[in-house]
């Protein structure tokens, strides 16, 4: 099992450009999440999904859109990148059933917006 | 108000000694879950330990234990017999109720000294 994978690992954008980050998981998890990690800020939730075809806003959703067309994939889009979106982006997934429901994280994508 | 507070930006510990990383949380929901994650310099997030709000005993996982003091709303991570490989960032996180959002603290950087 690959677990949670993210594509790409690194990206540099110019202000105003658009891009899509892809997250894929092979654990059949219902829940998927997108976080950003900034120095001194910890991880902040951007958007999440509780199942195929559903998405919801997290703590810092502005400037991002997401889609979950397939259960195993969760896409994060930046329509018009801004320098404030320079960050490390993490995708995570977790299973639906009760109990611990810990999150499994991808390796991260380092995005720089010039 | 911050949901998760980690007041120690950086900690040092001698190899083979024990260390406690502090975490306090804020919630009015009687049902919640508390998590600790490790982030080594390579960047991935590694799940360490979980404590449920109704769990009667402190969670333990190998050298990791969680000192859960419900009345004080604290969930400190204790690492026994520190190893050089324990040098990393450590994040405390909380899931409220059976909700879908996880809240992370700002992290503590642990350095193990030989």
pLDDT digits (tens, 9 = 90+) for B43-61: 999 999 999 999 989 999 9
Q: What is the pLDDT of residue A42?
A: 86
Q: What is the pLDDT of residue A41?
A: 80
Contact B35, B93 (CB under 8 A): yes
Rounded mean pLDDT, A48-53: 92
Tokens at B74, concatenated = 């604290």
Q: What is the pLDDT of residue B100?
A: 74
Using a CB–CB cutoff of 8 Å, tell me whether B41 touches chain A: no
Using a CB–CB cutoff of 8 Å, tell me whether A48 touches chain B: yes
B110 or B2, greater pLDDT: B110
B9: pLDDT strictly greater than 60: yes
Please, which residues bridge with residue B39 across strands? Answer: B89
- The values of phi and psi at residue A25, to 5°, are -135, 145
pLDDT digits (tens, 9 = 90+) for A5-46: 999 999 999 999 999 999 999 999 999 999 999 987 889 999
Tokens at B100, concatenated = 């879908």
Distance separating alpha carbons of residues B51 and A80, to the nearest angstrom: 40
Give the minimum alpha-carbon distance from B61 to chain A in angstroms, rounded to a whole number.
Answer: 14
Contact A101 B47 (CB under 8 A): no
pLDDT digits (tens, 9 = 90+) for A33-42: 999 999 878 8
Q: What is the pLDDT of residue A96?
A: 62
Tokens 């450009």 sit on residue: A17
Tokens 């998760």 sit on residue: B4
Contact B50 A102 (CB under 8 A): yes
Q: What is the pLDDT of residue A97?
A: 54
Tokens at B102, concatenated = 């996880």
Strand, coil or helix: A78: strand
Distance separating alpha carbons of residues A70 and B70, to the nearest angstrom: 40
Helical (H) or strand (E) element with B70:
none
Give the minimum alpha-carbon distance from B24 to chain A in angstroms, rounded to a whole number.
Answer: 15
């Amino acid at each position: 099992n690959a677990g949670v994978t993210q594509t790409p690992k690194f990206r540099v954008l110019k202000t105003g450009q658009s891009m899509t980050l892809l997250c894929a998981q092979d654990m059949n998890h219902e829940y998927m999440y997108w976080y950003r990690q900034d120095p001194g800020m910890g991880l902040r939730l951007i958007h999440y999904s509780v199942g195929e075809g559903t998405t919801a806003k997290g703590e810092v959703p502005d400037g991002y859109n997401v889609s979950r067309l397939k259960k195993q994939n969760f896409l994060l889009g930046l329509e018009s990148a801004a320098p404030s979106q320079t960050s490390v982006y993490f995708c995570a997934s977790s299973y639906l059933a009760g109990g611990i429901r810990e999150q499994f994280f991808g390796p991260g994508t380092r995005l720089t917006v010039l | 108000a911050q949901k998760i507070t980690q007041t120690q930006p950086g900690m040092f510990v001698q190899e083979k000694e024990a260390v406690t990383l502090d975490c306090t949380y804020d919630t009015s929901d009687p049902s919640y879950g508390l998590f600790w994650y490790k982030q080594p310099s390579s960047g991935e997030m590694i799940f360490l330990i979980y404590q449920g709000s109704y769990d009667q005993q402190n969670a333990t996982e190998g050298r990791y234990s969680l000192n859960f003091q419900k009345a004080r709303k604290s969930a400190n991570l204790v690492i026994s017999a520190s190893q050089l490989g324990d040098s990393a960032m450590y994040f405390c996180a909380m899931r409220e109720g059976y909700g879908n959002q996880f809240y992370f603290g700002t992290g503590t950087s642990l350095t193990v000294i030989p």
